[in-house]
Structure 1
Amino acid sequence: MGSVKDYFSSLGSGIASLLKGMQVTGKEFITPKITEQYPENRDTVKVPDRFRAVLELKYDSEGRHKCIACGICERNCPNGTISLTTKMVDTPDGKKKRKLDTYSYDLGSCTFCQLCVTSCPQDALEFSNDFEQAVFTREKLVRKLNYLPEKEEPAPSPEELARIQAEREAKIAAAKAAAAAKKAAAQAAEAIDAEQSAAADNLGAEKENNN
């Protein structure tokens, strides 16, 4: 009798366990799907805006970026992912200005730490959430971020050129005036020293004559 009782007890436990499992399975049949069927759902898949996929230079509506080639992002990158080359150009006011020549970014060694983005003083960088970056060779992971043709800065107006020229002449005149004033002060100081030295010599000579 004991074996029969144990048999039916085990059978009941098995059926209860089976029903519990079927309950979980049945619940999953009516639960909305979570798994993304990529790439079939490429047109409808939503990637979070905070997802970091690839580094990019920000371009405005006129096709210009704000990078000033300061090199802070390159120095802060822990993996040496970023490499900058620069060039010196002449500005309309006759000065030299450093400009970005090539912004090279190696996606294969990037850790997506975002130190480059947070340290940029011009807010010129951002991470795109475009995750489709698979390629067949590592060489293709090295990207040139300043891919758009460099646009020349608009030429200053005649009024602006006149203002720049006037400011330059004013600075030159001020520098000459300061140099002349400094020279005059030095000459006056030398004259005073000479007078004081001559007075001291005369006083010494008078003392010797009195003695």
Structure 2
Amino acid sequence: MDTDVVSGEPSRLRADARRNRERILRAAMRRFAAEGIDASLDDIAREAEVGAGTLYRHFPSREALLAAALQDRQKELLAQAQQARAIADSGAALGAWLTALQDYLRSFNGLPAPVLAAVKEQESPLCLSCNALVSLTDEFLRRAQRDGHARPTVSANELFLSALGLAWVLNRAEACGTTRQALEKVLAHGYLAPAGEGAAPG
């Protein structure tokens, strides 16, 4: 039940509150997509044609609104995880999951910052989804480690944080003179040359 429902005409008020929430979410998704996660909450409320108080009754913080705005994308990500599970090669499955994860973390410009904060702050509304993403990363990583496709010393949390950092950079890759493929290669293989490969010709 919505928290701003009062007695008297509960059915009508519940429906009104539900419509308000949906309008706020649609406005938030548009604003976050166009302006990034720092989009003005007042502008979101105005676009949704509700007062700031109504917005905060439904979403008491920016993180709560952001978590709700990401729900549809989380469903897409879980579907992609299921597709990755069907890949026979565990190394390729891990790669497919990391690509999907990076795309999710780029849903809105600036998203990696509150996700990183949620990793450290268990009270964040984004915390539960972050924990679920780390668990999924662990699932794919363990399978790849078991088959010898990933180093046994890498942890799921480290890999998740690496994907988080890469997601932040990917939005700026072309402007910085590099490509997604080049950055993903560094993430997957590191920068150290394999033993015995020798120095590059000088």
* TM-score when normalising by structure 1: 0.21
Higher helix share: 2
Q: Which structure would you say has the larger Rg?
A: 1
Higher relative contact order (CA 8 A, sep 6+): 1
Higher strand share: 1
